[in-house]
Structure 1
Amino acid sequence: MTPQIFVAETFGTAILLIFGCGVVANAILAKSKGNGGGWLMISWGWALGVFCGVFVAAKSGAHLNPAVTLGLLLKGDDFADGVPASVGTAFAYFAAQMLGAIIGAVVVWLAYRMHFDAEEDPANVLGVFSTGPQLRSPLWNLITEIIATFVLVFVIMSLAGTPNELGPLPVALLVLGIGIAIGGPTGYAINPARDLGPRIAHALLPIKHKGSSDWGYAWIPVVGPLIGGALAGVAAAALF
């Protein structure tokens, strides 16, 4: 992986998180003008984050997600033009995605600094950074994340084999659809970096009224998407 590709993947992931964590902050922080915007607003924000992030990270293949990188590795597809898939390169992508996710979360904290200081509910503070289940059950929460991420990665791989003049729009609409269809149980992390990077930022940042970073749940939005992405890669290799 060249430095340019690493930077592209990092910045693309950061843009995704600025939109994604940003729309959640706008919707749930008590003093924000967007407070009460609801689930549909949040789903659109994440979709637009994907749309913009893919443009920014075009040089790297715009994975923005370790589950996508893992799926491509298992399918045997190149990661980007001139970037063959390999285990070592996959870990470089993972590092870029995690770095970008942390940067994006910190930028959102800076943008909403006064609103975080004014927010007294620790659950709302954590909810800006990372996902959590509506009903906590490790097995079923894991299954939901596996299903949602399988749909994401499998459809992305399906799109890769078809003529596409719409750029990143189909993937953005795919993320929107996942959010409004099966995002309710867990908040649809569908991306280990998207959840773990901001959760680390939450743990480290000097945020007033913050509580636990809920590390007991943190493995689910990492392991579930990785399993879903791996299954999608294997299925795509067999079918396409």
Structure 2
Amino acid sequence: MSSSDIFIGETIGTAVLILLGGGVVAAVVLKRSKAQNAGWLAITLGWGFAVMTAVYMTGSLSGAHLNPAVTFGIALKDGEWGDVPFYLAGQFLGAMIGAALVWVAYYGQFQAHLTDPEAASKPAVEGPGPVLGVFSTGPEIRNVWQNLATEALGTLVLVLAVLTQGLNEDGKGLNVLGGLIVAFVVVGIGLSLGGPTGYAINPARDLGPRIVHALLPLPNKGGSDWGYAWIPVVGPLIGAAAAAGIYSLAFA
């Protein structure tokens, strides 16, 4: 696959991933949404279906990594780093596009939610604003080592599943069955390990939309919680490195 195929595939795939994944969160949490209060199960299933849709849509173009941690894990396994910049560029751009499209799709709901008297009466803060969870993750209990460990463990499971079950013949991306397996793994991670931090398990999925949250003209949006933002980036990379190490020791 060419560098342009990788960049285009990762941009489209990650945009679709965030549009559908962020979209289910918006549907569940925003006022005046028909799916409001549908619950955690709806969110975890929505993210799993988002992964499956994006993988099958763009797997033939780029291998559908859609996640810098997956790209990092595969590069560590193979020792090939030449295409990594094209993967990362597409993933972060796609994540930002997808987050902006969630805002477009739910524009009225964002306005209704953030202009509600309860939200409008709260002062602006540097921590997480009232709709930041639609865009990026945050912990229920702020404990740096626990939050970092939770993100690392969730990503370890994801990347090890990709490396052992999901790669196509050239080892560069997900095959047809692998895409389905990984989608179910993402649901499982969300149900089992998503409670403490919201399971970013993907640096682009968290950082790209967080930047969009900071830039969008949302009324009473509050802060983007930049003090926490490094954990959903560093934690998944630690988990990916651990997964690649386990793969090399036990499966290679």
Q: Return the TM-score normalized by structure 1.
A: 0.92
Q: How do residues 53-64 of structure 1 correspond to structure 2 at under 5 angstroms?
A: 53-58=54-59, 59-64=61-66
Alignment partner for residue 110 of structure 2, among 107, 116, 130?
116
Question: For 2:167 and 2:104, how far apart are their aligned partners in 1?
Answer: 40
1:142-191 Cα distance to aligned partner (Å, 9 max, x none): 01000010011011111037997635211110000000011000000000
Match of 1:81 in 2: none
The yes-or-no answer on 1:25 pairing with 2:26 is: yes
The yes-or-no answer on 1:94 pairing with 2:100 is: no
1:7-55 Cα distance to aligned partner (Å, 9 max, x none): 0111001110011100000000022111001000000110000000101
Q: Which runs of 5+ in 1 are unaligned?
A: 78-84
RMSD of aligned C-alpha atoms? Answer: 1.7
Cα distance change of structure 1 residues 161 and 31 upon mapping to structure 2, 3 Å threshold: closer
The yes-or-no answer on 1:154 pairing with 2:147 is: no
State the identity %. Answer: 54
Alignment partner for residue 176 of structure 1, among 178, 187, 193?
187
Match of 2:198 in 1: 187
Contact 2:140 2:196 in 1 (8 A): yes
Corresponding residue SS for 1:232: helix
Corresponding residue SS for 2:190: helix
Match of 2:210 in 1: 199
- Displacement after TM superposition at 1:92 (Å): 1.8
Question: For 1:38 and 1:172, how far apart are their aligned partners in 2?
Answer: 19
**4+ residue runs over 3 A deviation:** 121-124, 160-167
1:95-125 Cα distance to aligned partner (Å, 9 max, x none): 1100000000000000001111111347441
Contact 1:29 1:124 in 2 (8 A): no
Question: For 2:166 and 2:179, how far apart are their aligned partners in 1?
Answer: 11
Question: For 1:108 and 1:210, how far apart are their aligned partners in 2?
Answer: 15
Letter paired with 2:238: I
Greater shift in the superposed pair: 171-180 or 56-65? 56-65
Letter paired with 1:136: R
Corresponding residue SS for 1:217: coil
Alignment partner for residue 133 of structure 2, among 124, 127, 133?
127
The yes-or-no answer on 1:70 pairing with 2:90 is: no
Contact 2:30 2:109 in 1 (8 A): yes
- Displacement after TM superposition at 1:4 (Å): 2.1
Match of 1:80 in 2: none
Q: Which runs of 5+ in 2 are unaligned?
A: 120-127, 170-174
Letter paired with 1:54: V
Corresponding residue SS for 2:224: coil
Letter paired with 1:155: A
Alignment partner for residue 225 of structure 1, among 201, 225, 236?
236
1:190-217 Cα distance to aligned partner (Å, 9 max, x none): 0000000000000001111200000000
